[in-house]
Amino acid sequence: MSTTTPPGTRTSWTTRTRERAVDALPPEKLLPDGQPTYVASWIYVFGVASIAALIVIISSGMVLALKGPAWWHYTGIGHFFNSIHLWSVELFFFVMVVHLWGKYWMAAWRGGRARVWITGAITFIVAVPCALTGYVSQQNFDAQWISTQAKDGLNSMGIGAFFNVTNFGQMYSYHVLLLPLAVMGLVAAHVLLVRRHGVVPPFELKTGSAGSAPAAVPPTAEATPNAGGGRS
Amino acid sequence: MSFLRGRDDTKPWTGAYAPYDLIKELCVAIGVIALLAVLLTVLFSSPDDKPSTIAQWSRQMPVDFVTTATAELDGKSGTAEYGPPYNHNGSGQHIAFIELQKWLGVSHPIDTANDYVINPLHSVPGNPALQSAIATYQAAPAKTQAAWTEAYSAALEKATVGPGGAVRVPPGAYGPVPVMMNGLLALAQSGGLDGALLTSSQFFQTDYTNPLLFMADGGVLEKRAEAQHLLGDQWGMMNETGSYPGQVWLWLYTFWYQIEPFKESENADALVMALMGLLSLAFICVPFIPGVRDLPRGIPIYKLIWKEHYREQGA
């Protein structure tokens, strides 16, 4: 890209940002239409399933947000969307944990992919208070009990001084805006890093030529025109 | 710093690629997850147990309510002696010399005697006897106040509930405390205390700290929680009402509370939080921790994951 940039635009922040972005993630790497042949296991499904669950969580949460925090208590349709919100959260954590264990046993941080692991791990950790703030924003007995119990752990570390789980207004703000933004930002960073570095190759076996050794079947033009990334 | 990187002979993949439709896969995954969520919703719905109110508490458990209110008045309740972030009456939890709870200070000041008892009672109109009792109590020396509330607290163990829900105790030297407590009980039973504890300098209010801590000092929440298997020794933090899975991802956090030395420690919350903080840091740093990062290479679960690949490679 830089070779085609007209003179005079080298100092443009926009040009430089675009060039760096395209250099880091050219379109064929950002949205690949091929993947390495070793990506052939059900375990790979759990990464995209985590993203799918997050999308269902956010969609159902947006419906709940449109009508306000009390709506789901007194309407059947509200309760229906609250239930979808709850179960998509349960599914999100389930598929994310399977995804994390799968990536652990693949040692998916190899080959310069440590940041991929780190962003994934932080996403899990940030998702926990994201869910907790939802539980304490329910305006029912669950919220009363969980908030009065959770306060002690948070207070014991001084966190309660600025993050008060018995303050519904503060918790609702965290739940519908601040923490979801953090989770979405982390997931976006995680996925972009996966696209940039690709899916981690298998371990090389001591007795064979597996792993990143030259392939038994060389890449074909048909299969690999725009390959570079992979599933998360 | 090379030890942080460890042995890593992973090279970029130069082998074959297979066609892959990322967008289609994402759309299918969204469809499947949404379908599963709807299915679970249809089958199990979601819990929504109505919240407890101070009015319900005072009507259903008047003696417990008055016992709690008396403890708030004489500064012996859980909230009154809590320390930061609510007051300076306790130093809070600590780990050795690290006293984060104390260092972060009081951010939500609560004076239980005034906030939970005296100020709400001042708001009761048309009751000169009650206002006189408050004035008598406030004018008395602290020692006398303590003698009244301690005697009354002891007498509450033999309390009975009279007509209209008033609490009766055997005769004794309680000063104005019984009048004040029955006044507060009547206010609570009318629903007035629920509102009084939310009152602040502004009209709109979203902070339920005062009424929640008051109820938590009593037995109303705990009684319901025990019936719903939500207590700390019932792995309560990860459960929710009914038989729903709750926050199962908190299992490790909850686990530590079930074992020593955390179980009986006065600083259990701080110790568990610190331990979970360290474990979370370790989780993030897995790629750099010798042993932990090497385990996947030693345990051949990867051979199951990539069995097709290894078969094709003739390994």
Residue A101 has pLDDT above 90, yes or no: yes
d(C-alpha B158, C-alpha B181), whole Å:
16
Nearest-CA residue of chain B relative to A113?
Answer: B287
CA B56, B62, B67, B69 torsion: positive or negative? positive
Contact flag B101-A72 (C-beta cutoff 8 Å): no
Contact flag B269-A87 (C-beta cutoff 8 Å): no
Task: For residue A218, give the nearest of A41, A40, A39, A37 by alpha carbon.
Answer: A37
Nearest-CA residue of chain B relative to A209?
Answer: B313
d(C-alpha B203, C-alpha B35), whole Å:
43
At A140, give phi and psi (nearest 5°).
-135, -170
Nearest-CA residue of chain A relative to B31?
Answer: A52
Gap between the terminal Cα atoms of chain B? 34
Q: Residue type at B157?
A: E
Q: What is the pLDDT of residue B199?
A: 73
Residue identified by tokens 């919350």 is: B269
Q: Which residues of B touch A141 (CB under 8 A)?
A: 49-52, 221, 224, 228, 241
d(C-alpha B172, C-alpha B175), whole Å:
9
Residue A71: pLDDT band with limits 50, 70, 90: very high
Residue B235: pLDDT band with limits 50, 70, 90: confident
Task: For residue A46, give the nearest of A127, A129, A120, A132 by alpha carbon.
Answer: A120
Q: Which residues of B touch A41 (CB under 8 A)?
A: 305-308
Contact flag B52-A141 (C-beta cutoff 8 Å): yes
Q: What is the pLDDT of residue A6?
A: 66
pTM of the model: 0.90
Q: Which residues of B touch A166 (CB under 8 A)?
A: 207-209, 212-213
How far B268 CA lies from chain A's nearest CA (Å)? 8
Q: Which residues of A touch B309 (CB under 8 A)?
A: 37-38, 40, 202, 210
How far A66 CA lies from chain B's nearest CA (Å)? 19
d(C-alpha A226, C-alpha A215), whole Å:
18
Query: Closest to B249 (Cβ–Cβ): which among A86, A93, A223?
Result: A93
B167-168 and A34-36 as β-strands: parallel, antiparallel, unpaired?
A: unpaired
Tell me the three state secondary structure of residue A205.
coil
Task: Look up the ipTM and state it.
Answer: 0.93
Name, in order, each residue with C-beta under 8 angstroms of B216's C-beta and a sequence gap of 6 or more. A148, B78, B79, B222
3-state secondary structure A152-178: HHHHHCCHHHCCCCCEHHHHHHHHHHH
- Residue of A42, A109, A116, A144 best to disrupt the B interface, most CBs of B under 10 A: A144
d(C-alpha A197, C-alpha B12), whole Å:
9
Query: Closest to B208 (Cβ–Cβ): which among A138, A168, A224?
Result: A168
d(C-alpha B107, C-alpha B199), whole Å:
18
DSSP annotation of B106: -
| Helices and strands (H, E) in chain B, number of each type | 18, 3
Could you read off the pLDDT of A11-66 as tens digits, one per residue?
Answer: 899 999 999 999 999 999 999 999 999 998 999 999 999 999 999 999 999 999 99
Residue A229: pLDDT band with limits 50, 70, 90: very low
Could you read off the pLDDT of B197-229 as tens digits, one per residue?
Answer: 987 777 889 999 999 999 999 999 999 999 988
How far A11 CA lies from chain B's nearest CA (Å)? 34
Q: Which residues of B touch A167 (CB under 8 A)?
A: 206-209
Q: What is the pLDDT of residue B238?
A: 84
Q: What is the pLDDT of residue B4?
A: 60
Q: Residue type at B246?
A: G
Name, in order, each residue with C-beta under 8 angstroms of B146's C-beta and a sequence gap of 6 or more. B74
Name, in order, each residue with C-beta under 8 angstroms of A219's C-beta and a sequence gap of 6 or more. A227, B14, B15, B16, B17
Q: Which residues of B touch A31 (CB under 8 A)?
A: 22-23
Mean pLDDT of A156-170: 96
Mean pLDDT of B80-91: 95
- Residue of B33, B106, B221 best to disrupt the A interface, most CBs of A under 10 A: B33
Q: How far is CA A78 from CA A63, A86, A130, B42, B241, in A?
A: 9, 12, 21, 14, 19
Contact flag A110-B267 (C-beta cutoff 8 Å): no
Bridge partners of A55?
Answer: none
Q: Any CB–CB contact under 8 A between B299 and chain A?
A: yes
Q: Any CB–CB contact under 8 A between B278 and chain A?
A: no
Name, in order, each residue with C-beta under 8 angstroms of B117's C-beta and a sequence gap of 6 or more. B69, B72, B73, B180, B184
Residue A230 has pLDDT above 50, yes or no: no
What DSSP assignment string belongs to B184-211? HHHHHHTTHHHHHTT--SSS---B-HHH
* Mean pLDDT for all residues in chain B: 93
d(C-alpha B20, C-alpha A74), whole Å:
46
Q: Interhelix angle for B220-227 vs B209-217, to 10°?
A: 70
Mean pLDDT of B130-137: 96
Contact flag B12-A111 (C-beta cutoff 8 Å): yes
Contact flag B305-A80 (C-beta cutoff 8 Å): no
- Residue of A46, A138, A156 best to disrupt the B interface, most CBs of B under 10 A: A156
Tell me the three state secondary structure of residue A79.
helix
d(C-alpha B157, C-alpha B253), whole Å:
37
At A36, give phi and psi (nearest 5°).
-55, 145
Mean pLDDT of B275-302: 96
Q: Which residues of B touch A164 (CB under 8 A)?
A: 85, 107-108, 207, 209
B17-19 and A34-36 as β-strands: parallel, antiparallel, unpaired?
A: antiparallel
How far A173 CA lies from chain B's nearest CA (Å)? 11
Contact flag A83-B44 (C-beta cutoff 8 Å): yes
> Do residues A37 and A16 make contact, with C-beta atoms less than 8 angstroms apart?
no
Measure the CA dihedral A104/A105/A110/A116, to 10°: -30
Interface A:B, Cβ pairs < 8 A = 339
Query: How would you class A31 by CB atoms within 10 Å of its CB: exposed for 0-12, middle for 13-18, buried for 19 or more?
Result: middle
